[in-house]
Chains A and B, each alone.
Chain A
Amino acid sequence: MKKLALLTLTALVLLGSVVSAESITVKGSDTMVILAQRWAEIYMAKHPGTVIQVTGGGSGTGISALVNGTTDICNSSRPMKKGEKDKLKIRFNSLGVEIKSAKDGLSIYVNESNPVKELTLDQIKKIYTGNFTNWKQVGGPDAKIILYSRENNSGTYVYMKDNVLGGEDFSPSAQNMPGTAAVVNAIAKDKYGVGYGGAAYAKGIRMVGVKKDASSPAYEPTAENVKSGNYPISRYLFMYTKSRPTGAMKEYIDWILSSEGQEIVVKVGYFPVK
């Protein structure tokens, strides 16, 4: 009998310690999921009392989860839309808090055999809206441009549409691929393809230099150029919380924004905010 009581007591103590561990759930952008996992792993190794769960699903999914109260932090590669802020306001009477956690340069890829080395923002816009359909219109060979795009729920798609296409629609002939890897893969196999996405170093593709306008120099999406803002297509990667972070969550976010957290950003292949 005594033994049983002791066992129960031990179990209760163990259970108590599990409950008392601070638990933070993070959900959202697929672009950021590797980065978020790396942050969580290293942070948890240093702070054994904190448990951080990271899942992907996409920026929209993450924001929905924040609105539904099923996640503490949501990752998003695009800013929150007005409708989403509305929902958050109705539910929690708060517009949410935006944290810029990293920077990302959006690269434009072509097949490595493609002689086109640089494009202006305007040319990219015309290519993707379907005004330019032949590579010779931008100084390339006489061949049809094959457009590769992302699915319309991707933060990258929304960013490209809002910031490079100026809100105009993509050409209907743009093929929607599930994920950056699929875009890269398709272009490596397609001599006249063009695509966009985060920095990717893969066999068979090349990133083109991007010029702000015809008279400015072209910049490659390197860490230097993205950080200095010379590379014209870069974006922030956001984290959102319902209210101003406190306690364990504040510690975690502060750590992400510290030089230690930002070093991990560089290791994963994105660019620091500071």
Chain B
Amino acid sequence: MKRKFRIGEFLIEQAIRSIAFVSLAMIVLIIIFVFRETFPIFSSHNAAPSVIAKEEVQETYGEPTSSSSVSANKGVDAVEGDASLKNLTGREWQPVSGQPKFGLIPLIVGSLKVTLIAILIAAPFGILAALFTSVFAPRWAQELMKPAIEILAGIPSVVIGFFALIVLASFFQNVFGYTYRLNAFVGGVALSLAVMPIIYTITEDALTRVPKVMTEASLALGATKWQTALFVILPAATPGVFAAVLLGIGRAFGETMIVLMATGNAAMLSWNLFEPVRSMTATIGAEMAEVVFGDTHYNVLFLIGSILFAFAFTLNAIAEVFIRQRLMKRFEGI
């Protein structure tokens, strides 16, 4: 039977299709833009020769008449840095300098440190909370807990950062008595507040997707509720839990505001958890606004962006594989 052609339906269909393609195109354009701005690093970077003749001097206007001996601001002209591989893999991040150093190692280590702390705190709490709500909690507690934790995800990261900066930092310093008030640990704890709801929600979804048959079979065989939860439900949902943790890592790695506010932002290279760090995202956030466009520093910031992008893309892809393929396949036969 031939379908009747309806003009309204056709238009709506086309509109939705074009919206979908536009959003796809936008993502592609963002990727192209980020990589395009990174690219000049890899091509030979010759600084443009100065166009100013030696004898030219900048004009002044309304010169102060008093000849006070104020130490006039000397401007030391920065040399355009080279972004050779050697410089990029250096151990120092000093982008504004007589000899700019674009060592990415301290920034990468900084990001990893904060992410590690955040995940070590958020993953156990998030997973156990999800297990509790989906298996043990009575109906009313379930209905209270899920929205409550999801609201936590809705708190703007600036607010969490501010809370960490003012309250958490002083509290932890009094408790642990470490030297630096703002450090990777404070940032990691604050970050875990942002990551936990993600891990919780996705884990909870995975746990509730475990077919009732499996739970009932386990209970019928005489297993206790605890045994069922830990040895039947949780293992069955492992791919989902794994994906939750991966997405949590992605969120922690990409979070900017909390890290910018709470970690002290010093590009120190050390594995001490109680020393300040400067993460990759915070570096872009703090420096991009004022960098000279087209400068090597500008390109290096885009390189950091590309690295972050590649990292997030890989994590999301792996997480997708785990949820889509493994988890779904596992429950298919039941």
Contact = CB atoms under 8 A, between A and B. Distances in A.
Nearest to B73: A235
Contacts of A168: 98
Interface of A: 57-61, 64, 78-86, 89-90, 95-100, 103, 144, 146-147, 151-153, 157-159, 161-163, 167-170, 172-178, 186, 189-190, 192-193, 227-229, 232-236, 241, 244-245, 253-254, 257, 273-274
Contacts of A103: 70
A147 to B, nearest CB: 8
26 contacts: A57-B290, A58-B290, A61-B290, A81-B77, A82-B52, A83-B80, A84-B292, A86-B51, A97-B61, A100-B62, A146-B181, A151-B286, A152-B286, A158-B96, A162-B76, A163-B71, A163-B74, A167-B76, A168-B98, A172-B92, A172-B268, A175-B182, A176-B286, A253-B62, A254-B62, A274-B66
Indicate the size class of the contact surface on chain B.
35 or more
Contact of A244 (B59, B73, B74, B264): B59
Interface in B116-154: none
B14 interface: no
Given A99-B62, A158-B96, A236-B73, A153 B181 contact: no
Given A79-B73, A80-B75, A189-B170, A89 B292 contact: no
Q: Which of A58, A172, A176, A192 has the most chain B CB atoms closer than 10 A to its own CB?
A: A172
A232 B75 contact: no
Contact of A227 (B62, B68, B170): B68
A115 to B, nearest CB: 19
A84 B93 CA distance: 23
B260 interface: yes
- In terms of DSSP, what is the predominant structure of the interface of chain B? loop
A86 B48 contact: yes
B58 A96 contact: yes
A163 to B, nearest CB: 6
Contacts of A85: 52, 58
Contact of A153 (B97, B179, B266, B291): B291
Contacts of A254: 62
A80 B51 contact: no
A175 to B, nearest CB: 4
Nearest to B101: A169
A164 to B, nearest CB: 10
B94 interface: yes
B184 to A, nearest CB: 12
Interface of B: 48, 50-52, 56-66, 68-78, 80, 92-98, 101, 106, 169-170, 179-182, 260, 264-269, 275-276, 278, 286-287, 289-293, 295
B64 A274 contact: yes
Nearest to A250: B61
Nearest to B264: A175
Contact of B69 (A60, A89, A229, A236): A229
Contacts of A163: 71, 73-74
Given A60-B292, A79-B73, A97-B60, A186 B266 contact: no
Nearest to A245: B61
Contacts of B52: 82, 85-86, 89, 95
Contacts of A227: 68
Contacts of B77: 81-83
Nearest to A84: B292
Given A83-B78, A95-B59, A167-B98, 9 more contacts: A80-B58, A81-B292, A83-B292, A152-B287, A189-B181, A190-B181, A229-B70, A232-B71, A234-B71
